[in-house]
Amino acid sequence: MPLRPNQRLKLDDTDDKLFYAYPRFVTHVDDGFIQQLTDLYRQRLKPNTRIFDMMSSWVSHLPDDMEFDHVEGHGLNAEELSRNPRLNHYIVQNLNENPQLTLPDQSFDAVLNCVSVQYVQYPEAVFSEIYRILKPGGIAIISFSNRMFFQKAIQAWRDATESTRVELVKRYFASVPGFTTPEVIAHKSTVPNFLQWVGIPGGDPFYAVIAYRREAQ
């Protein structure tokens, strides 16, 4: 188990659906973060493939100049998802209530999760689903910064530093046999936190933890 029971707790333990009942047409990270993520997607995703954008909203950060066969979205707010121009279809499902996805085995080339993994209370179940729906050789890209809805992030995430959060996501991958050893991309902010707290912009730090479903042996 990658987490102890107390590490899964949120300060606000009401149903997540209530917190996401109203749409938020905002971006949760700055332009620099989004540019790095879009560039990473451009490098690692293949055109004309099937993408699952897990814990998505009205934006997917996919490169405008790339076409995909199918982009399946998922999240908690239907209004946000219905406005996302990249999605062909979407599912509304609370992963903390039911982590099992109604998607077939080995049906996606890539699973993406952007700035949301901190809200997952049962990562071993969710990462097992990521593995199940990925085709052999398929990629999972989990990206995050240092921002969060603090009251909805699990205790393990709230208590961690930026680098121990990377270790946490690596542990989530390691909890499922069959993923490759995760690769980490870490671009820390160039301005120290205490200066950002007094209003000097530093650029959001960018982290991505990437693993592939191993090809069949």
By CB under 6 A, name the binding residues for ligand SAM. 16, 20, 28, 55-57, 59, 75-77, 94-96, 114-116, 119
Nearer to ligand SAM, 15 or 215 (CB): 15
To ligand SAM, the closest distance from the beta carbon of 141 in angstroms equals 12
Mention every residue, 6+ apart, whose C-beta is less than 8 A from residue 129.
99, 100, 101
Closest approach of ligand SAM to the CB of residue 110, in Å: 14
Give the residues across from 92 on adjacent strands.
75
Neighbours of 124 (CB within 10 A): 16
Residue placing its CB nearer to ligand SAM in the complex, 94 or 214: 94
Q: Which CB, 20 or 41, lies closer to ligand SAM?
A: 20
Q: How far is the CB of 216 from ligand SAM (least distance, A)?
A: 30
Least distance CB 60 / ligand SAM (angstroms): 7
Place of tokens 């689903």: 129
Closer residue to ligand SAM (CB): 70 or 178: 70
Q: Which residue is closest to ligand SAM by CB?
A: 75
